[in-house]
A and B are shown apart, each in its own frame.
Chain A
Amino acid sequence: MSVLVDRETRLVVTGITGREGTFHATNNKNYGTQVVAGVTPGKGGQDVNGIPVFNTVAESVEKAGANTAMIFVPPRFAADSILEAADAGVRLIVAITEGIPAHDELRVYTQLKRMPDVRLVGPNCPGILSPGKASVGIIPASFFKQGNVGVVSRSGTLTYQIGNELAQRGFGNSSIVGIGGDPVPGSSFIDIIELFQNDPETELIVMSGEIGGSAEEEAAEYIAANVTKPVVAYIAGFTAPEGKTMGHAGAIVSGSAGTAKAKAQALEAKGVRVGRTPTETAEIAMEILGS
Chain B
Amino acid sequence: MDLLEYQGKQLFARHGIPVPTGKPAKTVEDAVAAADEIGYPCVVKAQVLIGGRGKAGGVKLAKDRAEATKYATDILGMDIKGFTVHEVWIEGASQIEEEYYASIVFDRAAKAPLVMLSTQGGMDIEEVAEKTPEALARLHVDPLLGFQDFHGRKLAFAAGIPADLIRPVGAMLSKLYAAFVAEEAMLIEVNPLIVTPERDVRALDAKVTLDGNSLYRHPENAALRDPSAEDPQEQMAHERGLTYVKLDGDIGILGNGAGLVMSTLDVVGLAGGQAANFLDAGGGSKADAIVSAVEVILSDPKVRAVLFNIFGGITRCDEVAKGLIEAYGIIQPTVPFVVRLDGTNDVEGRKLLSDANLPNVATATTMNEAAEKVVALAKTGVAA
9 contacts between A and B (CB under 8 A): A99-B213, A110-B143, A138-B283, A156-B257, A183-B108, A240-B262, A246-B258, A247-B262, A276-B266
B-contact 0/1 string along A222-252, CB 8 Å cutoff:
0000000000001011111100111111110
- Does more than half of chain B's interface fall in helix, strand or loop, or is it mixed? mixed
Q: How far is the CA of A75 from the CA of B216 in the complex (A)?
A: 10
- Known A160-B311, A239-B269, A278-B367; contact A103-B184, beta-carbon cutoff 8 A: yes
Q: Within 8 Å CB of B213, what residues of A?
A: 75, 99-102, 249
**With an 8 A cutoff between CB atoms, is B181 at the interface?**
yes
Interface size class of chain A, counting residues whose CB lies under 8 Å from the partner chain: 35 or more
Residues of B at the A interface (CB closer than 8 Å) are 106, 108-109, 111-113, 126, 142-144, 181, 184, 186, 211-214, 216-217, 243, 245, 247, 255-263, 265-270, 274-275, 278, 280, 283, 311-314, 342-344, 366-368
Q: Within 8 Å CB of B270, what residues of A?
A: 276-277
B184 lies within 8 A of A101 (CB): yes
Chain A residue with Cβ nearest B186? A102
**With an 8 A cutoff between CB atoms, is A199 at the interface?**
no
B259 lies within 8 A of A158 (CB): yes
B267 lies within 8 A of A76 (CB): no
Q: How far is the CA of A158 from the CA of B112 in the complex (A)?
A: 29
Q: Within 8 Å CB of A22, what residues of B?
A: none
- Known A103-B214, A277-B367; contact A138-B111, beta-carbon cutoff 8 A: no
Q: Within 8 Å CB of B267, what residues of A?
A: 277
- Known A100-B213, A107-B144, A110-B111; contact A210-B259, beta-carbon cutoff 8 A: yes
**With an 8 A cutoff between CB atoms, is A111 at the interface?**
yes
Stretch from A29-37, A45-53, A211-219, A265-273 contacting the other chain: A211-219
- Known A102-B213, A160-B343, A213-B109; contact A140-B314, beta-carbon cutoff 8 A: yes
Chain B residue with Cβ nearest A250? B108
- Known A161-B367, A164-B342, A238-B269; contact A102-B214, beta-carbon cutoff 8 A: yes
- Known A110-B112, A111-B144, A250-B108; contact A161-B263, beta-carbon cutoff 8 A: yes
Q: Which of B211, B247, B260, B344 has the most CB of A within 10 A?
A: B260
- Known A100-B213, A164-B343, A248-B258; contact A138-B314, beta-carbon cutoff 8 A: yes
Kindly identify, within residues 165 to 221 of chain A, every residue whose CB is under 8 Å from any CB belonging to chain B: 181, 183-184, 208, 210-215, 218
**With an 8 A cutoff between CB atoms, is A17 at the interface?**
no
Chain B residue with Cβ nearest A155? B259
CB distance from A38 to the nearest CB of B (A): 19
Q: Within 8 Å CB of A110, what residues of B?
A: 111-112, 142-144
Q: Which of B106, B111, B142, B213 has the most CB of A within 10 A?
A: B213
Q: How far is the CA of A103 from the CA of B212 in the complex (A)?
A: 11
B283 lies within 8 A of A102 (CB): no
A277 touches which one: B181, B184, B314, B368 (CB < 8 A)? B368
Q: How far is the CA of A110 from the CA of B261 in the complex (A)?
A: 32
**With an 8 A cutoff between CB atoms, is A57 at the interface?**
no
Q: How far is the CA of A23 from the CA of B213 in the complex (A)?
A: 25
A184 touches which one: B108, B142, B256 (CB < 8 A)? B108
A157 lies within 8 A of B260 (CB): yes
CB distance from A162 to the nearest CB of B (A): 9
B262 touches which one: A103, A104, A126, A251 (CB < 8 A)? A251
Q: Within 8 Å CB of B275, what residues of A?
A: 239
Q: How far is the CA of A268 from the CA of B10 in the complex (A)?
A: 47
B265 lies within 8 A of A240 (CB): yes
Q: How far is the CA of A164 from the CA of B310 in the complex (A)?
A: 13
Q: How far is the CA of A139 from the CA of B275 in the complex (A)?
A: 28
**With an 8 A cutoff between CB atoms, is A153 at the interface?**
yes
Kindly identify, within residues 127 to 159 of chain A, every residue whose CB is under 8 Å from any CB belonging to chain B: 138-140, 143, 153-159
A102 lies within 8 A of B211 (CB): yes
Chain B residue with Cβ nearest A243? B2
Q: How far is the CA of A278 from the CA of B245 in the complex (A)?
A: 22
Q: Within 8 Å CB of A214, what residues of B?
A: 108-109
CB distance from B102 to the nearest CB of A (A): 19
B247 lies within 8 A of A109 (CB): no
Q: How far is the CA of A65 from the CA of B312 in the complex (A)?
A: 34
A211 lies within 8 A of B214 (CB): no
Q: Within 8 Å CB of B181, what residues of A?
A: 103
Q: Within 8 Å CB of B142, what residues of A?
A: 110
Q: Which of B243, B267, B269, B280 has the most CB of A within 10 A?
A: B267
A208 lies within 8 A of B368 (CB): no
B343 touches which one: A76, A104, A140 (CB < 8 A)? A140
Q: How far is the CA of A209 from the CA of B211 in the complex (A)?
A: 22
Q: How far is the CA of A238 from the CA of B266 in the complex (A)?
A: 6
CB distance from A35 to the nearest CB of B (A): 18
Q: Within 8 Å CB of B214, what residues of A?
A: 101-104
Q: Within 8 Å CB of A246, what residues of B?
A: 245, 258, 261-262, 278
Q: How far is the CA of A99 from the CA of B212 in the complex (A)?
A: 9
Q: How far is the CA of A229 from the CA of B261 in the complex (A)?
A: 30
Chain A residue with Cβ nearest B315? A157
B144 lies within 8 A of A157 (CB): no
Q: Within 8 Å CB of A107, what residues of B?
A: 143-144
B344 touches which one: A100, A140, A158 (CB < 8 A)? A140
B262 lies within 8 A of A237 (CB): yes
B186 lies within 8 A of A158 (CB): no
- Known A140-B313, A277-B270; contact A183-B260, beta-carbon cutoff 8 A: no
A279 lies within 8 A of B367 (CB): yes
In the A-B complex, the 6 residue pairs with the smallest Cβ-Cβ separation, listed nearest first, are A155-B259, A247-B258, A157-B257, A158-B259, A101-B214, A157-B260
Chain A residue with Cβ nearest B342? A164
- Known A102-B186, A250-B108; contact A239-B265, beta-carbon cutoff 8 A: yes
Q: A104-B214, A161-B311, A277-B263 are in contact. List 7 more A-B contacts (CB 8 A).
A: A106-B106, A140-B343, A155-B260, A156-B259, A213-B109, A238-B269, A239-B247
**With an 8 A cutoff between CB atoms, is A255 at the interface?**
yes
A109 lies within 8 A of B263 (CB): no
A76 touches which one: B216, B260, B313, B366 (CB < 8 A)? B216
